[in-house]
Chain A
Amino acid sequence: MIRFERVGFRYAEEAAPVLAGVDLEIDEGELCLVVGSTGSGKSTLLRAVNGLVPHFTGGILSGRVTVAGRDTRDHPPRELADVIGYVGQDPRAGFVTDLVEEELAYGMESLGLAAGVMRRRVEETLDLLGLEGVRDRPLATLSGGQAQRVAIGSVLAAHPRALVLDEPTSALDPVGAEDVLAILQRLVHDLGLTVLLAEHRLERVVHLADSVVLLPGGGRPVVYGPAGTIMATSPVAPPVVRLGRAAGWSPLPLSVRDARRAAAPLRARLAETPDAGTTRGAAASSPMAAVRGLEVRYGPVTALRGVDLTVSRGEVVALMGRNGAGKSSLLSTLVGLVRPAAGRAEVLGAVPHELRARAMVRHAGLVPQDPGDLLYAETVAAECRAADRDMAAPEGTCRALFGRLAPGVADAVHPRDLSEGQRLSLALAVILTGRPPLVLLDEPTRGLDYAAKARLVEILGELAGDGHAVVLATHDVELAAEVATRAVVVAEGEVVADGPVEEVLVSSPAFAPQVSKIFAPLPLLTVAQATAALRDPS
């Protein structure tokens, strides 16, 4: 169905290759997962399938990519639209029309299908993706999960034979992600669709994949094979696989279900030792920031109502909840970007929205969802100098911080050319230059691979140890399990759960990390905890 023959790609004659010697043959009805660290060329590989690379991006493609027998060399993306459906990283960026129903029909109109056929397929697609309830809603009003489903539906309605998706769940909350993935699995099983998708959060998808393409990056050869085989040695692996490797389970489990079966004897053994698992947890001592009866409104929409929360020195709080639950609003209030409609917010005794920007950065710092928003300069060095100036810090402060967060980045690199993880580190360094006691992060792991995430966990731990308080809004339950001391769940603008991370996460089916699902009811959350318990069962 999709065939790569000795494919290589570079942006310019003298540039380093992004892809080299890729040989793949993906069969019909296969769900193939593309994994690799950031910057290893996953998006390039996906975009080469429908010819966006190189027809759209420029650059030099060697070798041959054929889809359903058509060579992408002679067929630009539009000529492949009837066999390949491509959904990019941000589904909203690809919407052409205003309404759900019209968006679903758009691709078919371009292909010139008859009106009757289009009508029927739109109805079928609405049912298939569970979009019937929002069929005549404006696209701008959809939630993240709905928007992703519309984006998938809009290419699916044209009945392509293969679907290519770039990080379809990275912006979604755990439940929304499960919806989207369940639909993909159904399409593969019921309709024999071929699906090729890239995803950083392997824990969400690896158990659905038939095969895996591993891009090691740095020009090393691409590995392609059955999911189980590749995962046994892959440098990027979800918690369930890492646990399986540590415990020496064979065959290696890819799903929580398989792992739970394999772990049965282990669970029985651990249950006898009373204190399996350790409780992290800083003694809540000196409060640093507090909100009381906080209410935030945007026009007629109430984003937060009656929220009470206190954050203390040395705490790492994971703020969780659905897309649109009010997490970002809470963070924005704490840095004074949003003025509360009622109630009170306080950071170190000051009211955030009354502080001037210069004073604000000494109280609280926020790394926004898109860290690139914070970066304007042409080079890393200039960015760091500007940050020192902005925050009135001694010269070199920001550069030193960045060097520690992301070692080995040259001064002259443009911030846009940094990898996702490096960009986040730079934004974090900029914010930390002002030494804000309260550090806030909004979705810090979007687009981060496991290595970058591990580095982030380390950094956040250090910050908490230095007496900062950290609040991170995240959908990434594995990250919350790794780093947080406390979890707060927000729903519909209200706090619905607040407590030690072990209690809150384990008790929720949606937010429980993989390790805790495997070991429930034992309070183990992370692979590190589990392996420690394995080694030392006494």
Chain B
Amino acid sequence: MSGRQLHPGAWWLWALGLATAATRTTSPLLLLLVVAATGLVVAVRRTREPWAGSYGVFLRLGLVVIVVRVVFWVVFAAQTPGPPLFTLPSVTLPSWMAGTRIGGPVSAGGLRAGLYDGLRLAAVLVCLGAANALASPSRLLKAVPGALYEMGVAVVVAMTFAPQAVTHVRRVRAAHRLRGRPDRGLRAVRGLVMPVVEGALERSVELAAAMDSRGYGRTAAVPPGRRRATAALTLAGLLAVCAGLYGLLGQGSPPALGAPPLVLGLAATSAGLWLGGRRSPRTRYRPDPWRWPEWVVSACGAATAMATVVTYGTGSPGPPPIPAAALVLAAAAALVSAPPVRREPA
């Protein structure tokens, strides 16, 4: 069992479970526990793939979110009960702008509420970051149904645009300096945009040519009858899923509109995707298997989410023992998973 990478789906389920738990509470202790759990698991379980470094980026992004949230809270919604800590100069917007008041007295309670709210958003972000670091999008792509594969590739390729653009900007800035143009400031930025966009376009055309010559997009011959059946099944299935979700979530909708169409819709969509997948002759190289560690890891995520959702609705303070215990369980159980292949440092 050593040196195997977990199925990326398991990590995503686990992370989504933790994220769900985070949305259901503003208790700072629980939120910090969520962040700590993801941090621990990422530290122990991440590989050395290029994406694995993304956790730190998300962590920093989380800090930014907290700061922004607190600032907004102070500026726009400071009127919370409690003795004011300090008072900002206030302006009341005219009534056609909803008469919102900006500034005013800021209470300790208000600050704290802003902080916790920011922390909650940050925790959700960090959960996504953990999923990214543990299972790169390109590995997740391998697990996507065949019918959706080609769309998935387009998405992944598009995501590589940002890092490549950064390299390109560096090259263009260097060229500016070599030509004796200012390499800093507003004038420099103006000269950057066109070459970078041109470079990105050229690269994508080249990549597309390379992918095409390696067989990307080959299709097997499919009788038109089956093609129509695929389209009909998928479309009808998606409509039924929408109806089902509406029935489940909407208040006062008839109960018959809930679970039955959802289940039927999911079945039809799956059948459609399966049929559609038959059109692509693609196979998978070393697909990630789904064995007991995957079950355990995703069950941990689900259990954490369930525990928080069941214990309370939204926003009650204090760390009830059950969700806290579930979070500790999440971290511990994730460690049960197989250690990843330790790749040689680059």
Q: How far is the CA of A335 from the CA of B177 in the complex (A)?
A: 9
Q: How far is the CA of A79 from the CA of B220 in the complex (A)?
A: 11
Contact yes or no, A118 B285, CB < 8 A: yes
User: Quick one: closest B residue to A338, CB to CB?
Assistant: B174
Is there a chain A Cβ closer than 8 Å to B207's Cβ? yes
Q: How far is the CA of A80 from the CA of B215 in the complex (A)?
A: 8
Contact yes or no, B176 A114, CB < 8 A: no
Nearest Cβ in chain B — how far from A184, in angstroms? 18
Given contacts A96-B210, A114-B283, contact A358 B218 (CB under 8 A): no
Nearest Cβ in chain A — how far from B286, in angstroms? 7
Given contacts A94-B206, A94-B210, contact A387 B218 (CB under 8 A): no
Is there a chain B Cβ closer than 8 Å to A78's Cβ? yes
Q: How far is the CA of A361 from the CA of B207 in the complex (A)?
A: 36
Question: Which residues on A sit within 8 Å (CB–CB) of B136?
Answer: 98
Contact yes or no, A77 B212, CB < 8 A: yes
Contact yes or no, A137 B344, CB < 8 A: yes
Nearest Cβ in chain B — how far from A50, in angstroms? 5
User: Quick one: closest A residue to B342, CB to CB?
Assistant: A136
Question: Which residues on B sit within 8 Å (CB–CB) of A50?
Answer: 213
* Among candidates A90, A137, A357, residue contacting B180 with C-beta atoms closer than 8 Å: A357
Contact yes or no, B344 A107, CB < 8 A: no
* Among candidates B183, B195, B213, B343, residue contacting A136 with C-beta atoms closer than 8 Å: B343
Is there a chain B Cβ closer than 8 Å to A108's Cβ? yes
Question: Which residues on B sit within 8 Å (CB–CB) of A102?
Answer: 138, 285
Nearest Cβ in chain A — how far from B300, in angstroms? 27
Question: Which residues on B sit within 8 Å (CB–CB) of A88?
Answer: 206, 209-210
Question: Which residues on B sit within 8 Å (CB–CB) of A391?
Answer: 179-180
Looking at B157, B180, B210, B341, the one whose CB has the most chain A CB atoms below 10 A away is B180
Contact yes or no, A111 B211, CB < 8 A: no
Given contacts A105-B285, A110-B215, A110-B216, contact A357 B51 (CB under 8 A): no
| 8 A Cβ contacts from B130-184 to A | 136, 138, 153, 157, 171-172, 174-183
Contact yes or no, B138 A98, CB < 8 A: yes
Contact yes or no, A79 B218, CB < 8 A: yes
Q: How far is the CA of A434 from the CA of B178 in the complex (A)?
A: 10
Other than the given A78-B213, A81-B215, 18 more pairs (CB < 8 A) read A56-B209, A78-B212, A78-B216, A78-B218, A79-B218, A94-B210, A96-B153, A108-B283, A111-B215, A115-B283, A118-B283, A122-B285, A138-B49, A337-B178, A374-B175, A374-B178, A392-B180, A434-B180
Nearest Cβ in chain B — how far from A147, in angstroms? 13
Contact yes or no, B215 A78, CB < 8 A: yes
* Among candidates A94, A99, A115, A154, residue contacting B287 with C-beta atoms closer than 8 Å: A115
Contact yes or no, A115 B177, CB < 8 A: no
Contact yes or no, A155 B174, CB < 8 A: no
Is there a chain B Cβ closer than 8 Å to A373's Cβ? yes
Question: Which residues on A sit within 8 Å (CB–CB) of B250?
Answer: none
Contact yes or no, B180 A390, CB < 8 A: yes
Q: How far is the CA of A93 from the CA of B153 in the complex (A)?
A: 16
Contact yes or no, A98 B213, CB < 8 A: no
Is there a chain A Cβ closer than 8 Å to B281's Cβ? yes
Contact yes or no, A357 B181, CB < 8 A: yes
Question: Which residues on B sit within 8 Å (CB–CB) of A430?
Answer: 179
| 8 A Cβ contacts from A62-90 to B | 76-82, 84, 86, 88, 90
Contact yes or no, B177 A337, CB < 8 A: yes
Nearest Cβ in chain B — how far from A519, in angstroms? 40
* Among candidates B50, B182, B191, B282, residue contacting A109 with C-beta atoms closer than 8 Å: B282
Is there a chain B Cβ closer than 8 Å to A360's Cβ? yes
Contact yes or no, A140 B50, CB < 8 A: yes
Given contacts A81-B215, A98-B51, A138-B50, contact A109 B284 (CB under 8 A): yes
Contact yes or no, B215 A335, CB < 8 A: no
Contact yes or no, B207 A93, CB < 8 A: yes
Given contacts A112-B281, A390-B179, contact A376 B195 (CB under 8 A): yes
Q: How far is the CA of A368 from the CA of B215 in the complex (A)?
A: 35
Question: Which residues on A sit within 8 Å (CB–CB) of B153?
Answer: 96
Is there a chain B Cβ closer than 8 Å to A473's Cβ? no
Interface string of A362-376 (1 = CB under 8 A from B): 000110101001101
Contact yes or no, A110 B174, CB < 8 A: no
Contact yes or no, B207 A368, CB < 8 A: no
| 8 A Cβ contacts from B177-218 to A | 177-183, 191, 194-195, 203, 206-218
Q: How far is the CA of A387 from the CA of B281 in the complex (A)?
A: 54
Given contacts A97-B138, A112-B281, contact A366 B178 (CB under 8 A): yes
Is there a chain B Cβ closer than 8 Å to A113's Cβ? yes
Nearest Cβ in chain B — how far from A331, in angstroms? 11
User: Quick one: closest B residue to A369, CB to CB?
Assistant: B171
Question: Which residues on B sit within 8 Å (CB–CB) of A373?
Answer: 171-172, 174-175, 195
Is there a chain B Cβ closer than 8 Å to A106's Cβ? yes
Nearest Cβ in chain A — how far from B215, in angstroms? 3
Q: How far is the CA of A452 from the CA of B183 in the complex (A)?
A: 32
Question: Which residues on A sit within 8 Å (CB–CB) of B157?
Answer: 96
Q: How far is the CA of A357 from the CA of B179 in the complex (A)?
A: 8
Contact yes or no, A137 B217, CB < 8 A: no
Q: How far is the CA of A109 from the CA of B153 in the complex (A)?
A: 13
Contact yes or no, A361 B179, CB < 8 A: yes
Q: How far is the CA of A112 from the CA of B219 in the complex (A)?
A: 10
Q: How far is the CA of A81 from the CA of B214 in the complex (A)?
A: 5
Is there a chain A Cβ closer than 8 Å to B101's Cβ? no
Nearest Cβ in chain B — how far from A300, in angstroms? 9
Nearest Cβ in chain B — how far from A196, in angstroms? 14
Contact yes or no, A94 B177, CB < 8 A: no
* Among candidates B177, B180, B214, B343, residue contacting A155 with C-beta atoms closer than 8 Å: B214
Question: Which residues on B sit within 8 Å (CB–CB) of A84?
Answer: 213
Is there a chain B Cβ closer than 8 Å to A285's Cβ? no
Question: Which residues on B sit within 8 Å (CB–CB) of A390?
Answer: 179-181
Nearest Cβ in chain B — how far from A358, in angstroms? 5
Contact yes or no, B212 A76, CB < 8 A: yes
